[in-house]
Each structure stands twice: as structure tokens, then as C-alpha cells.
């Protein structure tokens, strides 16, 4: 008895493998978080972010974008940038609050998954320079940069560390489900630089400064990114209300 099995391999497998690399990195981060090895976990989440950026670039380069690729990307992002950072919040602090801690630490994951679902159904309606709500990878970076460089820093008073972890958890959650527009990461192309020079300059300064400070500037830069988005929104809102 012969069984003929035909496996169709298309060029879309390349970006899809990169997307699965995102998921593997996120899963690995969760393992390290369970072991309380938070710095390695944070590195794995950053690697997941690199895979997340590369899969879209490669898909566009080889012209292999697909509906399944979009869905796969969202599923992997939910684990790497939703579940993993939320579990980190639980492990470093919220676990001592029992059931309330489970609920509070889960909020960024819940908001992130909702954010991904909303993006998928509204993708054709959103422009390429802004996102409605903070992107889930940015929220993950906002959370882990605080935990690694500030919450786990014994030189900072306990009051500010505890206040900070509540602040970061709540702001990350609200920012992902809000309708406020957040800037997209500028692409390193001449056309992108010409269209949005200030976005590119600010992102470049943030990257260099974070590198020079060994990561300590990363959270202040992410906080600036969040606050600047809110300020721009409320400024436009009140300006429009004043005209009316």
C-alpha cells in the first residue's frame, strides 16, 4: 500500500519561520522568568522583537505576504510581548498579592491580545506612520526596561519601585487599548527620513543613548514615547474643541 504525500513548500515559509522564531524566543523567555533569570529573559524578548521586525521585512522583500502570516504574527506576538512580560510582572512582585496579583499582572497580556485582534480587523484602515493604541512590542519594551533597570535596582527606594510597577502595568494596559495614536518605528530609508525627519532623529538619539548608558536610558525613552503620544492627542483634542 503506497501513500502519496505531497508537501507544498512556498517562499512564504521563510518569513513564517522567522515569525516562529519570535514565538520560540518568547517561550524561552517564559522559561527563564520561571527560573528568576530576568535579564536573560529580557534578552530573549528583545530577540523575539528582532524576529518580529525581520519577518515583515523579508515578507515584503520576497513578496510573500499572506493572511496566514498576519494571523501567525499576532499569535506569536501575544506570547512574546503579552504573556512573557505579564508573567515577569507576576514573578518579580505581584505573586505576593495572591489572586489580586494574578489579575493585575495579567492586564497587559489581556490588553495586548485585544490590541492585536483590533489591529487585525482594522489593518486596512490604519495608516503606516501611526498605530491606534501602543503596539504590543513597544508595551513589552516599556515593561521589561522598567523591571530590569529600575525595579530590580536596590539603589532605588522601595516606595518608588512599587509605585513604578503599578504605574507601568496600568499605563501599558491603558495605552494598548486606547484610541490614541502612537508613532510607528521609522524605517531606515531615505524616503522615511525625508517624510518624518524628527521621528527618525528622536529614535536614533534614543537608541544611541540607551546603548551608551547600558540600557538605563531605555525606560525613560519609552516613557517619553508614551507621554508624548498622550500630550499630542490631548493638545489636538483641546485645539479642535477650542475652534468649534
**Structural domain spans, the chain:** 13-181
Domain 13-181 coded CATH 1.20.120.1760: yes
pLDDT at 8 exceeding the cut of 70: no
Residue 237 is placed in which grid cell? Answer: 483634542
Task: List Cβ neighbours of 219 (8 Å cut-off, separation of 6 or more).
Answer: 142, 145, 146, 149, 150
Band of pLDDT at residue 177, cut at 50, 70 and 90: very high
Q: How confident is the model at residue 76 (pLDDT cuts 50, 70, 90)?
A: very high
Q: Cα–Cα distance between 24 and 13 in angstroms, integer?
A: 16
| Mean pLDDT over the full length of the chain | 86
Residue 57, pLDDT score: 75
Its sign, for the CA torsion 191, 197, 199, 200, is positive
Cell numbers representing residue 170 in the block: 496600568
Question: Which one is predicted more confidently, 154 or 224?
Answer: 224
* pLDDT tens track for 44-71: 999 999 998 888 777 777 776 677 778 8
Return all residues near 139 (Cβ < 8 A) that are at least 6 apart. Answer: 81, 85, 108, 111, 112, 172, 175, 176
Among residues of the chain, what percentage have pLDDT more than 90? 54
**Segment 21-46, tens digit of pLDDT:** 999 999 999 999 999 999 999 999 99
The residue ranking higher by pLDDT, 19 or 242, is: 19
Cell 525627519 sits on residue: 197
Amino acid at each position: 500500500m503506497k501513500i502519496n504525500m505531497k508537501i507544498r513548500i512556498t517562499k512564504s515559509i521563510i518569513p513564517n519561520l522567522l515569525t516562529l522564531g519570535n514565538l520560540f524566543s518568547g517561550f524561552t523567555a517564559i522559561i527563564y522568568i520561571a527560573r528568576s533569570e530576568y535579564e536573560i529573559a529580557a534578552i530573549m524578548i528583545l530577540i523575539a522583537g528582532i524576529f518580529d521586525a525581520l519577518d515583515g521585512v523579508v515578507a515584503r522583500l520576497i513578496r510573500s505576504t499572506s493572511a496566514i502570516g498576519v494571523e501567525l504574527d499576532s499569535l506569536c506576538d501575544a506570547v512574546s510581548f503579552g504573556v512573557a512580560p505579564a508573567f515577569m510582572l507576576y514573578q518579580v512582585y505581584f505573586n505576593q498579592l495572591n489572586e489580586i496579583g494574578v489579575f493585575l499582572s495579567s492586564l497587559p497580556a489581556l490588553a495586548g491580545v485585544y490590541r492585536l485582534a483590533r489591529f487585525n480587523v482594522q489593518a486596512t484602515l490604519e495608516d503606516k506612520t501611526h498605530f491606534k493604541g501602543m503596539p504590543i512590542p513597544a508595551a513589552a519594551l516599556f515593561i521589561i526596561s522598567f523591571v530590569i533597570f529600575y525595579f530590580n535596582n536596590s539603589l532605588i527606594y522601595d516606595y518608588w519601585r512599587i509605585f513604578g510597577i503599578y504605574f507601568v502595568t496600568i499605563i501599558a494596559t491603558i495605552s494598548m487599548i486606547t484610541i490614541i495614536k502612537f508613532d510607528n518605528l521609522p524605517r531606515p530609508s531615505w524616503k522615511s527620513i525625508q517624510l518624518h525627519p524628527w521621528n527618525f532623529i528622536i529614535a536614533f538619539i534614543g537608541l544611541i543613548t540607551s546603548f551608551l548608558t547600558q540600557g538605563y536610558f531605555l525606560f525613560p525613552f519609552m516613557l517619553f514615547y508614551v507621554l508624548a503620544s498622550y500630550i499630542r492627542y490631548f493638545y489636538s483634542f483641546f485645539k479642535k474643541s477650542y475652534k468649534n
